[in-house]
Structure 1
Amino acid sequence: MEKEESLKLAAGIMLDFAVQTGLSGENKTPRRYLWTDAFAVCNFLELYHRTQDEEWLGLARQLVDQVHHTLGRNRPDSARSGWLSGLSEEEGERHPTRGGLRIGKKTDERAPDEPLDERLEWERDGQYYHYLTKWMRALGRISRITGEAGYLRWGMELAQTAHRAFRFNAAAEGVLGLHWKMSSDLRRSLVPSVGQHDPLDGLVTCCELVFAARLFPDEEFPDLRREIRELTGMCRNRDFSTSDTLGIGSMLVDACRTGELIINDAFHDLALFRRMLNDALLSLEDLGGGFLDQQAKYRLAFRELGLSIGLKGAVRLAKLFEEYPDVRGGELASWLQPRFEALLWFHKMAGKIEAFWIGEKRKQTEHWRSHGDINMVMLATSLAPEQFLKSG
């Protein structure tokens, strides 16, 4: 699909999303969900970047504000009220991410004395670390586009809050980790298991935020050195390989962002960079393309579209190192070349994924509509991914 055609389709999707979720239009209660909204902010910024139409930037700003005032506060059906952080109304307005941000699930989190139901837990509210990192990125991107330091400060405050709350020390092993899911007030773990890619996503995101702070030399920002140091330790000797399409896509996106940070001397762990690329490539080879022949009812659009976005990130990464072949004396580019050739062989999968789900969207099948908001937004990201993939 040609770039202009992709942009036009992405624009139509995002306008529909804005109306359907109560971001624009009248008399509709906002329906906010943190993962979806993080991608949506980047999509609006990409549409603004490509068209210079201020309406898109306005939607990005409005979405940030609506997320903070919806997911940064206690649920309407909660016994508690106000900001999750417990700050006063005035202080909460200045620091809306200090208490983290809720996922946005329809069902409230389970009570402290309620037993864990693994199936039901997926439908319950709380806070996810990997959702928070997506929102940190969205805040970093809008800070770069607008030149306003406040958005970046909120992202860095969120990075500190999330790390402090999700971090745990497995005393028996003496190893740091990150809980998968926490309560909305960040006081108790709801799912203690560890997300496979959470430390990697957190590390790359924190480095990206610190890199963005260079744009504002006269501003004071939170110090993320401890977070970066501890997240680096969590990533050491970790196996990132996975059979999950969304997980593979996430690795490729992180590799794309990391490559740009390396070029800008903002990320220095080359061994980790090599490992994420190697593990992504091994995961792709094990995955194969058989899933592309399955019927829609056996597939999940947003997970496959995550892979499509990551594959486009691999293309962007290859182009970056073509433009800057002498980074680290050229040795890194030489190491990357055969791996890029292997990764780019898989790129055709992105077009097939997009075409399949565009067809399902046009038919408005029940399977598409069952995850409508997230499917729409991630399809738009796949069609116009630059702002989501950039770290600089």
Structure 2
Amino acid sequence: MDKEESVTLAGEIMLDFAAQTGVSREDKPQRRYLWTDAFAVCNFLELYHHSQDEKWLLLALRLVDQVHQTLGRHRPDTAKSGWLSGLSEEAGERHPTRGGLRIGKKMEERAPDEPMDERLEWERDGQYYHYLTKWMRALTRTSRVTGEACYLRWGMELAQTAHRAFRFSDGPDGALGLHWKMSGDLRRSLVPSVGQHDPLDGLVTCCEMVCAARHFPDQELPELGREIGELTQMCRSRDFSTSDSLGIGGILVDACRTGELIINEAFQDLALFQCMVNDALLSLEDLGPGFIDQPAKYRLAFRELGLSIGLKGTARLARLFEEYPDVRGGELAEWLQPRLEAMLWFQKMSGKIERFWIEEKRKGTEHWRSHGDINMVMLATSLAPGQFLRAN
């Protein structure tokens, strides 16, 4: 499938998503889910970038507003109402991310006196740090495409809020970490365990927002120095390798974005970048290509599509350093070359993953429909990943 065919199919998928989840049709109830919607905003922006058709930009902006109006407020089935931040209606409209954003799960979050049920916790609402970072990215890309600083400001305010709420210090040495899941009002931890890649994703995203702020020199935007410093500290000597296909895709995407930030002199920690690349390659080699030959019932589309998106990021990273080989005196490109060549060997998996799930979507199988919204959106991202992978 060539690029034009991929973009065309991505557009068809996103129009279907917009109609089904209430973005484009007022007669459809809204189904807002933060992870899915963050990818969707980037997809709409990429389709606008490719075609210059205003309908895609309008869908992106409408979805941003719907997410803030829905997930930035308390659930309608609870006693609380209004913005999660507790701000007045008027102030909340100006700062819709100051209280964070709910996940969008169907079940209400666990009550303070309710015992933990690990299985049910996956179905309950609250706030995830790694979902918030995805929304920060969506807002940053919206700001760059529209030239309007308000979206970047909301992303940076969300970064401050998330860091303040999820950050904890533990142990005799005061080691810093990020809780996995917080309550909707960010007042209590629901799952205290630490996400393996959350600090890395937060660091790269904060650096990206600081880089984007250069394009708005006349704007007073939030400072993220403390957040970047502490997230860097959390990433020190951390093992990012994983056997999870979605996690591997996430490291590859972060490596792609970090490479672009290094080229733009917006990321200084080369040792951390090299760690990302090494751990991503190790994870790919351990995973191997065999898993994509299994029947659909043993596979999850959105997790595999996350890997496919990451592999597209590897190809983009290789192109960037071909275009800018002299960054940091050329030593970085020389170090990268053999590792990128090794990672690009896995590139063929991306096409196989896409073709498999395009066929499952066409047939409307249960394995596709069980996570239909997120599957649609991440397939579209894999087909047209430009805006999701960009860091500047």
TM-score class, shorter = over 0.9
Do residues 109 (structure 1) and 109 (structure 2) align? yes
Kindly provide the amino acid, as one letter, of the partner of residue 349 in structure 2: M
Do residues 270 (structure 1) and 293 (structure 2) align? no
Distance 2:25 2:292 in 1: 37
Kindly provide the amino acid, as one letter, of the partner of residue 279 in structure 2: D
Determine the structure 1 residue equivalent to 2:251: 251
Deviation readout 1:239-296 (Å, 9 max, x if unpaired): 0000000000000000000000000000000000000000000000000011111010
Deviation readout 1:104-140 (Å, 9 max, x if unpaired): 0000001000011000000000000000000000000
Do residues 5 (structure 1) and 5 (structure 2) align? yes
Determine the structure 1 residue equivalent to 2:37: 37
Distance 1:246 1:277 in 2: 16
Alignment of 1:132-211 (within 5 A): 132-211=132-211
- With normalisation by structure 2, the TM-score equals 1.00
Determine the structure 2 residue equivalent to 1:390: 390
Q: CA deviation at 1:367?
A: 1.2
Distance 2:221 2:369 in 1: 41
> What's the RMSD between the two structures over aligned residues?
0.5
Determine the structure 2 residue equivalent to 1:99: 99
Q: CA deviation at 1:25?
A: 1.4
Deviation readout 1:203-250 (Å, 9 max, x if unpaired): 000000000000000100111000000000000000000000000000
Q: Which runs of 5+ in 1 are unaligned?
A: none
Distance 2:104 2:178 in 1: 20
> SS state of the match for residue 176, structure 1?
strand
Determine the structure 2 residue equivalent to 1:215: 215
Determine the structure 1 residue equivalent to 2:234: 234
Distance 1:90 1:197 in 2: 36
Distance 1:182 1:292 in 2: 34
Kindly provide the amino acid, as one letter, of the partner of residue 187 in structure 1: R
Q: CA deviation at 1:27?
A: 1.5
Distance 2:363 2:173 in 1: 52
Distance 2:320 2:27 in 1: 46
Determine the structure 1 residue equivalent to 2:52: 52
Q: CA deviation at 1:171?
A: 3.3
Kindly provide the amino acid, as one letter, of the partner of residue 210 in structure 2: V
> SS state of the match for residue 346, structure 1?
helix
Distance 1:330 1:366 in 2: 50
> SS state of the match for residue 257, structure 1?
helix
Determine the structure 2 residue equivalent to 1:122: 122
> SS state of the match for residue 191, structure 2?
strand
Do residues 299 (structure 1) and 299 (structure 2) align? yes
Moved more, 54-63 or 167-176: 167-176
Kindly provide the amino acid, as one letter, of the partner of residue 361 in structure 1: K
Distance 2:178 2:115 in 1: 21
> SS state of the match for residue 215, structure 1?
coil
Distance 1:102 1:292 in 2: 33
Deviation readout 1:282-321 (Å, 9 max, x if unpaired): 0000000111110101000000000000000000000000
Moved more, 33-42 or 288-297: 288-297
Distance 1:171 1:139 in 2: 35
Distance 2:100 2:172 in 1: 29
Determine the structure 2 residue equivalent to 1:320: 320
- With normalisation by structure 1, the TM-score equals 1.00
Distance 2:378 2:329 in 1: 37
Kindly provide the amino acid, as one letter, of the partner of residue 320 in structure 1: L
Kindly provide the amino acid, as one letter, of the partner of residue 198 in structure 1: D
> SS state of the match for residue 180, structure 1?
strand
Q: Which runs of 5+ in 2 are unaligned?
A: none
> SS state of the match for residue 285, structure 2?
helix
Alignment of 1:7-22 (within 5 A): 7-22=7-22
Do residues 73 (structure 1) and 73 (structure 2) align? yes
Q: CA deviation at 1:100?
A: 0.1
Kindly provide the amino acid, as one letter, of the partner of residue 30 in structure 2: P
Q: CA deviation at 1:173?
A: 3.8
Distance 1:124 1:163 in 2: 22
Q: CA deviation at 1:174?
A: 1.4
Distance 1:23 1:355 in 2: 27
Kindly provide the amino acid, as one letter, of the partner of residue 69 in structure 2: H
Kindly provide the amino acid, as one letter, of the partner of residue 65 in structure 1: D
Distance 1:156 1:379 in 2: 28
Determine the structure 2 residue equivalent to 1:330: 330
Determine the structure 1 residue equivalent to 2:347: 347
> SS state of the match for residue 168, structure 1?
strand
- Identity, in percent, stands at 82
Do residues 26 (structure 1) and 26 (structure 2) align? yes
Distance 1:7 1:78 in 2: 41
Deviation readout 1:143-201 (Å, 9 max, x if unpaired): 00000000000000000000000000003341000000000000000000000000000
Q: CA deviation at 1:26?
A: 2.8
Do residues 224 (structure 1) and 224 (structure 2) align? yes
